[in-house]
């Protein structure tokens, strides 16, 4: 069964990495024209649709490849400083994410509903601003989910691990239990 990037380009091989913290990324060898950098794309693994954007691509060693990062925008972008008074955490989160056409996951996380008495966002990369914001209340971190939404997690809570069932078309190459990082090889 062939796999396709954005339902157009056959995926010949590759891997997907979903780190415990931060942004997931994937690299695929594809069959088709050069990918367009910055273009939004998607692929499906085990009935999970992964939405992201192409950040690199071209030809290397005679094979066409594409590198995809989760999210609709580049969270490395610098945003100006801003002051928030008496707001729930979700307001500055949404403010930062909206600059990159992204949104919060629909899951009702307790930390995003907590109220800030005051928080000053320093001029920095959006990813750093988000890390500072969610760690304000303790041992929390954020991750971009496969659907390109943003979610906050508590470092002390043990979340259920999603283990992929191995079919002949997929192979789990490596799983790091500390970082909860999966590397998956795809084959057609």
Q: Are 183 and 15 in contact (CB under 8 A)?
A: yes
How would residue 172 be classed by pLDDT, with cut points 50, 70 and 90? low
For the chain, how many residues are written? 188
Q: Three-state SS for 107?
A: coil
Can you tell me the mean pLDDT for 136-150?
88
pLDDT number for residue 127: 92
- Interatomic CA distance for residues 24 and 145, integer angstroms: 8
pTM of the model: 0.76
pLDDT digits (tens, 9 = 90+) for 72-119: 988 989 999 999 999 998 899 999 999 999 999 877 677 788 888 888
Nearest to 69, CA basis, from 179, 152, 144, 181? 144
**Mean of pLDDT over the chain:** 81
In order, the DSSP letters of 28-66 are EEESSSPPPTT-EEEEEETTEEEEEEEEEEEEETTEEEE
């Amino acid at each position: 069964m062939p796999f396709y990037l954005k339902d157009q380009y056959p995926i010949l091989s590759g891997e997907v990495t979903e780190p415990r913290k931060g942004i997931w990324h994937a690299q695929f060898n594809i069959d088709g024209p050069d990918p367009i950098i910055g273009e939004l794309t998607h692929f499906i693994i085990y009935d999970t649709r992964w939405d992201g954007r192409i950040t690199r691509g071209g030809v290397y060693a005679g094979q066409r490849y594409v590198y995809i990062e989760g999210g609709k925008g580049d969270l490395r972008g610098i945003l100006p400083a801003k002051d928030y008074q008496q707001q729930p955490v979700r307001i500055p989160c949404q403010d930062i994410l909206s600059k990159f056409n992204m949104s919060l996951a629909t899951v009702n996380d307790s930390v995003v509903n907590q109220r800030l008495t005051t928080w000053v966002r320093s001029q920095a990369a959006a990813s750093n601003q988000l890390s500072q914001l969610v760690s304000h209340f303790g041992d929390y971190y954020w991750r971009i989910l496969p659907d390109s939404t943003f979610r906050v997690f508590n470092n002390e809570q043990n979340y259920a691990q999603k283990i992929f069932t191995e079919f002949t078309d997929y192979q789990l190459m490596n799983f790091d239990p500390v970082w909860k990082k999966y590397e998956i090889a795809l084959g057609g």
